């Protein structure tokens, strides 16, 4: 009682396998009568294609691989959902891989995607430098788009946001709220997002006359735990900055947790900003001022780039940066009384 194959259908319908294939896939010429017969027989036999065999012969699997550093970071979850939605529109399937922020695992995932002959790869590389080897090992025959993160020294398309502009929005808002000193908390600077955001932070804090000490750049990991650790460190420190600028919402969550436990008020004692605008940013107390990434747009563009026919010879690789959006919430606004959930939005 095995799964029936195209041969079984061909026998039962008294035609050749070629005709069955044509009838089922809609390619090639088949008479209406035969088509109906084949369809009927196929459904009677409960025929269900074998995508492995199809992929082997036809050279494309209809599957797109996506590698992200951490599926439990809600920013990536949202990105994945957007990508999945876009892929559905073009009839492709998503194969999601978590590299757990580990370059070696990332390389293994990449290799396995190549062995699976996926039709394309979307990747948020986990390391701005060490990921370069794995990325450059991918044959040019398979389209690759880097998403969010970017690795220098690679020749692929990239889609992300304008991190410097984002920091300009954050710091100009902070300055407006009266900040004159700031600290920056993010992942290790081996991460391209952190690099760009840090550069923007330094540039625009200067522009707005906000002081930053060398010790005020605290780089660790994109995790709640790192935020909590930094929070504890800041609490132990004699002088508190006016604003804590984070490279990711989940880091800011850790800081909120530490400060709430110590009953230090945000934004009363210090203002706080995040990055990504994940769902919880609006739920947490205080609700978090943050930079929203347009995941829908990022995903749509990445899928579009990936679906483009590979150009011959040398290719100019697209670098598409979308405009970020500042979402102002409680963590940077003194409670002026009234509705605590009101949100102002500000587009660059």
Partner DNA sequence: TGAATGTGCGTAATCGATTACATTTTGTAT
Partner DNA sequence: ATACAAAATGTAATCGATTACGCACATTCA
21 near DNA (CB under 7 A)? yes
Instruction: State which of residues 39, 45, 49, 219 lies at the interface with DNA (CB under 7 A).
Output: 49
Over the window 28 to 47, marking each residue x when it contacts DNA by CB under 7 A and - when it does not, the resulting string is xxxxxxxx------------
Q: Which does 284 bind (CB under 5 to 8 A by kind): a copy of itself, DNA, none?
A: a copy of itself
Q: How far is the CB of 81 from a copy of itself (least distance, A)?
A: 6
Say which entry of a copy of itself, DNA, none residue 279 contacts (CB below 5 to 8 A, set by partner kind): a copy of itself
Q: Whole-angstrom distance between the N-terminal and C-terminal Cα of the chain?
A: 62
Q: 263 touches which of a copy of itself, DNA, none (CB within 5 to 8 A by kind)? A: a copy of itself
Is residue 139 within the footprint of DNA (CB under 7 A)?
A: no
Contact 324, 348 (CB under 8 A): yes
Residue 16 interaction partner, one of a copy of itself, DNA, none, beta carbon < 5-8 Å per kind: DNA
User: Among residues 167 and 278, whose Cβ is nearest to a copy of itself?
Assistant: 278
By C-alpha distance, which of 129, 78, 72, 75 is closest to 100?
A: 72
CB of 3 to a copy of itself, least distance (A): 7
Residues 6+ apart with CB under 8 A from 50: 3, 5
Q: 224, 250 in Cβ contact below 8 A?
A: yes
CB-CB contact of 288 with 272 (8 Å): yes
Find the Cα–Cα–Cα–Cα dihedral 179, 254, 74, 246, rounded to 10°: 30
**Where does residue 293 fall: left (phi above 0), alpha (psi -120 to 50 degrees), or beta otherwise?**
beta
Spell out the SS3 assignment of 151-195: CCCCCCEEEEECHHHHHHHHHHHHHHCCCCEEEEEEECCCCHHHH
**Smallest separation (angstroms) from a copy of itself to the CB of 267:** 15
Q: Which stretch binds DNA (CB under 7 A): 18-26, 185-193, 319-327, 329-337?
A: 18-26
Q: Is 187 in the site for DNA (CB under 7 A)?
A: no
Assess 27 for contact with DNA (CB under 7 A). yes
CB of 222 to DNA, least distance (A): 37
DSSP 194-257: HHHHHHHHHHHHHHTT-B--GGGEEEE-SSHHHHHHHHHHHHHSSS--SEEEESSHHHHHHHHH
Interacting residues toward a copy of itself by CB under 8 A: 2-3, 48-53, 55-56, 61, 71-72, 74, 77-78, 80-81, 84, 93, 95-96, 98, 111-112, 114-117, 139, 141, 224, 253-254, 256-257, 260-261, 263, 279-280, 282-285, 339-341
Q: Is 1 in the site for DNA (CB under 7 A)?
A: no
Cα maximum dimension of the chain: 86
Per DSSP, the chain holds a count of helices (H) and strands (E) of 12, 13
Kindly state whether residue 57 participates in binding DNA, applying the rule CB under 7 A. yes
Cα separation of 328 and 292, whole Å?
10
Stretch binding DNA (CB under 7 A), from 49-57, 73-81, 181-189, 201-209: 49-57
Indicate the residue among 61 and 192 with the shorter CB distance to a copy of itself.
Answer: 61
Is residue 224 within 8 Å of 257, Cβ to Cβ? yes
| 160, β-bridge pairs | 321
Q: Answer yes or no whether residue 111 interacts with DNA by CB under 7 A.
A: no
Q: What are phi and psi of 282, to 5 degrees?
A: -95, -10
Provide the mask over 198-237, with x wherever binding to DNA is found by CB under 7 A and - wherever it is not: ----------------------------------------
Residues forming contacts to DNA in the complex (CB under 7 A) are 2-3, 5-7, 14-19, 21-22, 24-25, 27-35, 49-50, 53-54, 56-58
């Amino acid at each position: 009682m095995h799964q029936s194959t195209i041969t079984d259908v061909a026998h039962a319908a008294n035609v050749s396998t070629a005709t069955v294939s044509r009838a089922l896939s809609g390619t090639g010429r088949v008479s209406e009568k035969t088509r109906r017969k084949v369809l009927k027989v196929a459904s009677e036999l409960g025929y269900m294609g074998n995508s492995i065999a199809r992929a082997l012969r036809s050279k494309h699997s209809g599957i797109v691989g996506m590698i992200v550093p951490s599926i439990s970071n809600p920013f990536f979850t949202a990105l994945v959902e957007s990508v999945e939605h876009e892929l559905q529109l073009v009839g492709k399937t998503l194969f999601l891989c978590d590299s757990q922020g580990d370059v070696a695992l990332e390389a293994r995932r990449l290799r396995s995607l190549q062995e699976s002959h996926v039709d394309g790869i979307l990747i948020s590389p986990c390391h701005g430098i060490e990921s370069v080897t794995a990325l450059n090992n991918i044959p040019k025959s398979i389209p690759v788009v880097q998403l969010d993160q970017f690795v220098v020294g690679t020749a692929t398309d990239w889609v992300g946001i304008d991190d410097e502009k984002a920091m300009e929005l954050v710091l100009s808002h902070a300055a407006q709220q009266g900040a004159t000193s700031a600290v920056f908390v993010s992942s290790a600077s081996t991460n391209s997002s952190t690099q760009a955001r840090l550069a923007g932070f330094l540039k625009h804090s200067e522009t707005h006359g906000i002081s930053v000490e060398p010790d005020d750049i605290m780089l660790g990991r994109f995790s709640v735990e790192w935020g909590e650790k930094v929070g504890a460190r800041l609490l132990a420190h004699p002088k508190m900055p006016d604003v804590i600028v984070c490279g990711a919402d989940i880091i800011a969550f850790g800081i909120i947790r530490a400060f709430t436990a110590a009953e230090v008020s945000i934004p009363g004692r210090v203002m706080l900003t995040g990055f990504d605008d994940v769902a919880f940013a609006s739920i947490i107390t205080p609700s978090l001022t943050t930079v929203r990434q347009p995941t829908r747009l990022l995903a749509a563009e990445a899928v579009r780039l990936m679906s483009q026919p590979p150009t011959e010879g040398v290719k100019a690789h697209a670098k598409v940066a979308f405009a970020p959006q500042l979402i102002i919430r409680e963590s940077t606004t003194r409670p002026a009384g009234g509705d605590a959930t009101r949100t102002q939005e500000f587009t660059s």
